[in-house]
Amino acid sequence: MGSRMASVRLTVLGLVMIVTILALTPVASIAQEAQPATPPNTPNTPPDPTTQEKEEEKVAPERLLFIAYEAFGKRFLGPMGIFYDGRTDEIFVADTGNHRVVILDGVDGFPKAVFDHKVKRGRGRKASLGEPRSIAVDSSGDIFIVDNLCNYVNVCNFRGDHLTEIRLGDYIYDTWSGTSSESMELGPKPIAVAVDSEDNIYVATSCWIFVFNQEFELQKQFGGRGKKRGEFTAIMDIWVDIEGKMYIVDAMGFGLQVMSPDGEVLLAFGEHGAGFNNFSMPTGIISDRRGYIWVVDTLRHIVPIFDADGKFLDYIGAYGGRPGQFAYPSAISSNRDGRIVVLEKLNARVQCFELAPQPKEGDDEPADAPSEQTLFSGS
């Protein structure tokens, strides 16, 4: 028995060492060893970074920090949602196929906690295992979860214990065609959830965005079904920056829209077609500390990066299973201070990237700036 346990420990240690070695390898050198096939609908000739005006800004991440594949003896299975809590340096993964939420250490990706996500369905309201798809956490540690198998936002504590529910049908009878009882049970189905710096909660359905305060009182409502600016058809994700601006990706209307806290459309672009300013299937979005916008394009297996005006700057990824590559990425999040995590549905893993350090005031380059060989870019 002792020798068998020693063999298991060595095997696990070997796997951890392999992942660590791969993660610490400069991604640029990995890309040079084997160029993957061009992702579907991705242009064959991306812009040459040497011709871009501000190459020294290092738009794409500088390095890959770690890759996480599993937690507590179980591989991730079809994960769909991710949230990076910069306050606690923890990464929350909606491990959809395993009906659970996993909490990872933001430093090295090692598992810290896990809980099954249960939802109440049907007339008996009996709790059963759900399929979490979107997740957000507020400053008090309360967790907001959208699940494929229920029509409400489940609010849990840090242990996963149920606290309360946000049912949109309770607030919007005037925009819901059903009766009051139907609204209570069915209601408009939440698709994505986000939390801003003041702990306001943003819940997106396919074509509406609802904003609640900390007491779950409805404050604002934006959107409507359509393909014009300010309208939506199939919202996939929402992100709110520190200024309260909302970033929304839509699978059928404008691929990307940015709205002010009052709902004014500030930016809208992206058809569903070829080209770096268009998308095939946008499913995730964030903005970074520089104001750049990152969009997960699931069918292209890449994450294009745009400036605040919607100008394409760079991209990361390509189809594959090696570090820095993606296979059907499903979500993205950030600690808002230079670390970005990308979740993949097919590869069933989390990859954590880090931006170049910000130059200190009065310095042209950060004191610990690495060489250009460590620059990770899709270009």
Distance of alpha carbon 267 from alpha carbon 290, whole angstroms: 17
| Per-residue pLDDT, 297 | 98
Q: In what order do the strands lie in the sheet with 90-95?
A: 81-85, 90-95, 100-105, 111-116
| Per-residue pLDDT, 358 | 74
| Per-residue pLDDT, 362 | 59
| Per-residue pLDDT, 351 | 98
Distance of alpha carbon 192 from alpha carbon 319, whole angstroms: 26
* Sequence spans of domains, the chain: 2-43+60-357+369-374
| Per-residue pLDDT, 373 | 32
Q: Strand pairing partners for 297?
A: 282, 302
**Interval 101-142: pLDDT, tens:** 999 999 999 999 999 999 987 666 788 999 999 999 999 999
| Per-residue pLDDT, 186 | 52
Distance of alpha carbon 32 from alpha carbon 34, whole angstroms: 6
**Interval 51-84: pLDDT, tens:** 444 445 679 899 999 999 999 999 999 999 999 9
pLDDT at 32 over 80: no
Q: Based on the number of CB atoms within 10 Å of its own CB, is 4 exposed (0-12), middle (13-18) or buried (19 or more)?
A: exposed
> What pTM value is reported for the model?
0.81
Helix, coil or strand: residue 51: helix
Task: Report residue 375's pLDDT band, with 50, 70 and 90 as the boundaries.
Answer: very low
Q: Tokens standing for 85?
A: 């809590």
Smallest Cα–Cα separation from 261: which of 239, 237, 243? 243
pLDDT at 33 over 80: no
* 164 in Cβ contact with 156 (< 8 Å): no
Proportion of the chain above pLDDT 90, given as a percent: 68
* 313 in Cβ contact with 52 (< 8 Å): yes
Maximum Cα interatomic distance, the chain, rounded to a whole number of Å: 68
Taking residues 244-253, report their average pLDDT. Answer: 96
In b/e form, how buried is each residue of 32-41, taking b as 16+ CB within 10 angstroms? eeeeeeebeb
Query: CATH class for domain 2-43+60-357+369-374?
Result: mainly beta
Maximum mean pLDDT: which of 36-50, 169-183, 298-312: 298-312
Taking residues 24-52, report their average pLDDT. Answer: 44
Task: Report residue 226's pLDDT band, with 50, 70 and 90 as the boundaries.
Answer: very high
The conformation of residue 295, written as its DSSP 8-state character, comes to: E
Q: How many Cβ atoms are within 10 Å of 329's Cβ, its own excluded?
A: 26
| Per-residue pLDDT, 57 | 67
Distance of alpha carbon 342 from alpha carbon 352, whole angstroms: 7
pLDDT at 300 over 90: yes
Taking residues 238-254, report their average pLDDT. Answer: 96
Proportion of the chain above pLDDT 70, given as a percent: 74
Task: Report residue 16's pLDDT band, with 50, 70 and 90 as the boundaries.
Answer: very low
More confident residue, 39 or 32: 39
| Per-residue pLDDT, 169 | 84
Mean pLDDT is lowest, of 113-127, 307-321, 339-353, for 113-127
How much is the mean pLDDT over the chain?
83
Smallest Cα–Cα separation from 225: which of 206, 244, 200, 203? 206
